[in-house]
Amino acid sequence: MSIVLKNISKSYGSIQVFNDFNLEITKNQITCILGASGVGKTTLLNILLGLVEVDSGQVLGLEGKKIVAVFQEDRLVESLSSIKNVQLACNNKVTRTKLIDEFNKVGLGGFEDRPVSELSGGMKRRVAILRAVLSESDVIVMDEPFKGLDVELKSKIIEYVKDKTRNKTVIIVTHSLAEVKELEANKVDLTFTKNNHSVIMNEY
Amino acid sequence: MNRQARTKENLYKVFAILFWLVIWQVIAMIIDREMLLASPIAVIKALANLLTTSVFWQSLASSFRKIVLGFLTGTLFGVFIAVISYRFLLLRELFEPLIKVIKSTPVASFIIIALIWVGSANLSVLISFLMVVPVIYTNTLRGLCEIDTKLLEMSHVFRVSWLKRARYIYIPEVMPYFISAVSVGLGFCWKSGVAAEVIGLPKNSIGEALYEAKIYLMTKELFAWTIVIILISVLFERIIMALLKWIQKQLLL
């Protein structure tokens, strides 16, 4: 069953972000959400994560599902090592050897035991991605996950994410059409209406 | 800091201590009345004499046991009420005026009231307890309230178990606040605990020894006991701090 947002309305004080908003996200595929800043992309992800309550409407298809995230601001425990941050989200079945292997795949080999506070922005981003794709989940949402990565590294990480999320429902917020193409993802364009409500302009 | 800089710093510390000892000795020699100001040499001699008496060790052990008991129970209680206050706003509001009253009441008032309630024998336990609770409560609660809500949201999203949440998010974030509270609380405990004993005069206690030194004008013994109190409180604080820092390190492993 796909994820359906049905007649969603959400405002922050006098600012209405969504008014009777509808969207269907195909399951087991990658869907990218594009749109200008402030259009409500992060709010949309937070609604899916259950971190923001809608004023009215329904989110269907997530009942009993585990949904994890790559947040816009990493949200890593800075004092802990990078591997510990990943372990915190994974169950005990994922061994250290397996995790080290995954760290190597994203170019973080040798940085497993470094405290997150000592890593660069791009490294932290990769730790956040590892945490999301390696933890047990049905749905993964990612808020600009490839921000701060150079072109070469970005391609490598995109391939890694594609490989690790095969047959999972993945929703990615991005500003880059190139990323959508590389991810071979569905595309949802959010735009403002005259009344400043977010609507879908086109969906493929 | 490199080794050379550390050696230099240590040398400066030793120099500072020696400097003030010399000043003390010079002033004592100028005043030349042991009753008003005992010289460091006279104090060291008095201390050496004290160490040979069994009363000294009994008093030390008894006061130490009571003040530390007050400190430990106060710390545990302070953490407990901070945690439940963090969880339930109603309890936070309920404890707030009580903590404010304890904080602003003069220690002497507490000592006199406590003397009536619990008698002199366990007076220092109760006073140490009362002095440490507000410090631990306020700091622990502040640490809990300062925890990044975004991290808590993350742990909720990833369904991190409460045990892992406590170990890797709550405790490490609260620990710096807790450690500084313990350091301040320990100082309070010793000062107020001994003050309570001076007023309550429980048998075989540091307070009783200080009181006797005062009424018989035994200035050098008074100074010697003061040095003992300073040393024992610094030593105990060092041990507790080292233990807490070790725990802090272990939690992050």
Domain containing residue B214: CATH number: 1.10.3720.10
Q: Which domain holds residue A47?
A: 1-65+141-150+169-204
Residue in B closest to A49 by C-alpha: B157
Q: Looking at CA atoms only, how far is residue A89 from chain B in angstroms?
A: 6
- A&B contacts, CB < 8 Å: 38
Residue A203: pLDDT over 70: no
What is the distance, to the nearest Å, from the Cα of residue A80 to the centroid of all Cα atoms in its chain?
22
Buried b (16+ CB within 10 A) or exposed e, B84-119: ebbeeeeebeebeeebeeeeeeebeebbeebbeeee
Question: What confidence score (pLDDT) does residue A54 get?
Answer: 94
B174 and B62 share one domain: yes
Residue A38 lies inside a defined structural domain of this protein? yes
Residue B170 lies inside a defined structural domain of this protein? yes
The tokens of A133 are what?
A: 């794709």
The number of domains in chain B is 2
Q: Are A111 and A98 in contact (CB under 8 A)?
A: no
Q: Looking at CA atoms only, how far is residue A68 from chain B in angstroms?
A: 6
Residue A193 lies inside a defined structural domain of this protein? yes
Question: What confidence score (pLDDT) does residue A127 get?
Answer: 97
Q: List per-block mean pLDDT (blocks of 10 residues) for chain B, which spans 253 residues.
A: 85 94 92 87 92 92 94 97 96 94 91 89 92 96 95 95 91 93 92 91 90 87 92 93 91 77
B199 and B175 share one domain: yes
Residue A4 lies inside a defined structural domain of this protein? yes
Among A37, A166, A143, A113, which Cα is nearest to B153's? Answer: A143
| Cβ neighbours of A135 in B, within 8 Å | 158
| Cβ neighbours of A69 in B, within 8 Å | 154, 157
Contact A73 B150 (CB under 8 A): yes
pLDDT tens digits for A151-189? 889 999 999 999 999 989 999 999 999 999 999 999 998
Residue B39 lies inside a defined structural domain of this protein? no
The CATH number of residue A11's host domain is 3.40.50.300
Among A39, A108, A35, A31, which Cα is nearest to A76's? Answer: A108
Residue in B closest to A79 by C-alpha: B252
| Cβ neighbours of B164 in A, within 8 Å | 88
Mutation for testing the A interface, residue in B154, B160, B245, B253 having most A CBs under 10 Å: B154
Query: Which has the higher per-residue pLDDT, A202 or A9?
Result: A9
Q: Looking at CA atoms only, how far is residue A64 from chain B in angstroms?
A: 13
B19 and B96 share one domain: no
Residue A48: pLDDT over 70: yes
Alpha helices (H) in chain B, listed in sequence order: 3-31, 40-51, 54-87, 89-104, 107-118, 123-145, 149-157, 162-165, 171-200, 206-215, 219-251
Residue in A closest to B250 by C-alpha: A80
Question: What confidence score (pLDDT) does residue A199 get?
Answer: 73
Banded model confidence at residue A91, pLDDT cuts 50, 70, 90: confident
B24 and B114 share one domain: no
Residue A204: pLDDT over 70: no
| Cβ neighbours of B143 in A, within 8 Å | none
The tokens of B118 are what?
A: 């619990």
* Phi (first) and psi of residue B178, to 5 degrees: -65, -45
What is the spatial distance between Cα A115 and Cα A120, in angstroms, rounded to a whole number? 11
Residue A36 lies inside a defined structural domain of this protein? yes
What is the spatial distance between Cα A126 and Cα A146, in angstroms, rounded to a whole number? 8
Contact B172 A73 (CB under 8 A): no
Residue B38 lies inside a defined structural domain of this protein? no
Among A106, A117, A51, which Cα is nearest to A84's? Answer: A117
Question: What confidence score (pLDDT) does residue A196 get?
Answer: 66
Residue in B closest to A75 by C-alpha: B151
Question: What confidence score (pLDDT) does residue B121 get?
Answer: 87
Residue A12 lies inside a defined structural domain of this protein? yes
Mutation for testing the A interface, residue in B156, B158, B163, B250 having most A CBs under 10 Å: B158
The number of domains in chain A is 1
Average pLDDT over residues A72-87: 93
Residue A130 lies inside a defined structural domain of this protein? no
Residue A47 lies inside a defined structural domain of this protein? yes
B16 and B84 share one domain: no
Chain A contacts in chain B segment 135-164 (CB below 8 A): 150-151, 153-155, 157-160, 164
Residue A129 carries which side chain, given as an amino acid letter?
I
Residue A158 lies inside a defined structural domain of this protein? no
> If you average pLDDT over every residue of chain A, what do you get?
91
pLDDT tens digits for A21-38? 999 999 999 999 998 888
B55 and B13 share one domain: no
Residue B37 lies inside a defined structural domain of this protein? no
Q: Which domain holds residue B145?
A: 44-251
